[in-house]
Amino acid sequence: MEYNEIEEKMKKTISILDENLSEVRAGRANPAILNKVKVDYYGVPTPINQVAGISVPEARLIVIQPWDTSILKEIEKAILASDIGINPNNDGKVIRLSFPDLTEERRKEIVKDIKKMAEESKVAIRAIRRDGIDEAKSMQKEGLITEDDLRNAEDDIQKITDKKIEEIDKMLATKEKEVMNV
């Protein structure tokens, strides 16, 4: 039985979690929080990183320097409209985003949110496992594999699942540590 498809689906689930975790604000300036912010650039919604240079000169500061200064106001509007919760500071040449210190209460809320994200990913991984095992069972019913093959397939799929769940736990622990120890 082929496990590549199952493993590929699980990898995709983990990469989505990784992307979502990178967008979580952990108190430090992280340009990834701007990934979903689109600027109206001549009528076309365009990611900020395609119309401006983004740098992190300090731990709590992001500087956005547009290549075309005429879109400074558009970038500012897009950031205000997004839900990142930071007010842009426009000086006519660049936009600065200052990240305030997170309160202990806010850190705990963020940890709760990332735990929820991780749990949702684990549920998705388990659903992929269930689908793989169901497929193996139907193959056994059709006589394509033996009962021993079915048991081996179930064991192999479970090993892949355990490995991916462990990977999610490690990602969660890393992000949790980052949020709580900023």
User: pLDDT (tens digit, 9 = 90+) per residue, 83-106?
Assistant: 777 788 888 888 888 877 777 887
**Where do the CATH 1.10.132.20 domains begin and end in the chain?**
4-22+103-180
Please name the residue that has the structure tokens 């799929």. 157
Handedness of CA 3, 122, 18, 20 (dihedral sign): positive
The tokens for 44 are: 């076309």
Backbone angles phi, psi at 123, to 5 degrees: -60, -40
Q: Tens digit of pLDDT for each residue in 21-43?
A: 877 766 667 777 787 788 888 88
Q: How far apart are CA 92 and CA 70, in angstroms?
A: 9
Task: Say if residue 182's pLDDT is above 60.
Answer: no
Q: How far apart are CA 102 and CA 176, in angstroms?
A: 14
**Where do the CATH 3.30.1360.40 domains begin and end in the chain?**
31-98
Task: Say if residue 126's pLDDT is above 90.
Answer: yes
How high is the pLDDT of residue 27? 64
Q: Does domain 31-98 have CATH number 3.40.50.1100?
A: no
Q: Tell me which architecture the domain covering 4-22+103-180 has in CATH.
A: Orthogonal Bundle (1.10)
Neighbour-count burial of 129, counting CB atoms closer than 10 A to its CB (0-12 exposed, 13-18 middle, 19+ buried): buried
Task: Say if residue 12's pLDDT is above 60.
Answer: yes
Q: How far apart are CA 13 and CA 31, in angstroms?
A: 22
